[in-house]
Amino acid sequence: MKRMMTILTASLAMTSFTGSGLAAEHGEAGMMIPKQEQQEMVNIAHRGASGHAPENTMGAFQKGFEMKADYIEIDVQMTKDGELVVIHDTTVDRTTNGTGKVGDLTLEEIRQLDAGSWFSEAFTGESVPTFEEVLAEFHGKVGILVELKAPELYTGVEEKVADALIDRNMNTPNNNKIIIQSFNHESMKKSKELLPNLSHGVLIGGSWADVTEEQLAQFATYADYFNPTMKIVTDELVSNVHEAGMDIYPYTSRSSEQALRLFDLNVDGIITDYPEHIYTHPVKNS
């Protein structure tokens, strides 16, 4: 995959994006990655720039774009009436002023909810976006890492996502600006069959700390990315993932120190709430 050259920096060095007070707020003042340690890295804004704006809202995605992330990561679920919406939890309770399961609410009911004021009064009135809205606004501007959230709850969600991408001609070969991932690995097998030209990833929790080379080889039959919790990332794991032919994008970095550790482990990308910890430069064609 063609990657983006990046320099991992402390937030203090990125005041043009986030304001001079951010580094002090997070206890990272003065921290800098030596120039000789620069390497290829991909910057993924987790649920958008969710350290700066309410997660999985258009405001967070726009912030991630403005902060020059390579990808915005989004969570896709399905409403009672079969519409695709972008929200992380399987209920609306935590990130909106409503209650109930996403799958028990219609799109109209979900669209009436305030998805921003819990984060800050400045974001009052932010709504839960639809998958189509995110595609329409950000495709071509920034890569989109699409997580199918709890697809086992939503019969046919893989087909719905595939149809939306195909309708927009976003299923073309070598389109590395769209990646699909999930903790549900059977769902990823199904999605890969529907969208064979798109890259797919398996999300991995802590229980996979002792994943074997044989298991990695099996994942590699349908996945291009092995994306684990950063807690289990080691030199050996990164090496084994690369040997299996996959890239590795750990989640979720929330400090420069955490990003630096992942950087030193030679991962391929970092999923982060704070994109300013990774400063992106495009690769120049030779």
Catalytic residue among 26, 52, 88, 200: 88
Q: What is the 3-state secondary structure (H, E, C) of 147-186?
A: EECCHHHCCCHHHHHHHHHHHCCCCCCCCCCEEEEECCHH
DSSP state, residue 196: T
Taking each helix axis from N to C end, the angle separating 185-194 and 157-167, rounded to the nearest 10 degrees, works out to: 40
Catalytic residue among 46, 52, 200, 277: 46
Q: Does residue 46 have an active-site annotation? A: yes
Of 242, 196, 275, residue with least CA distance to 1: 242
- φ and ψ at 277, to 5 degrees? -75, -10
Q: Does residue 88 have an active-site annotation? A: yes
Q: At 40, which amino acid appears?
A: E
Question: Are 124 and 117 spatial neighbours (Cβ–Cβ below 8 Å)?
Answer: yes
Active site (catalytic) residues = 46, 88
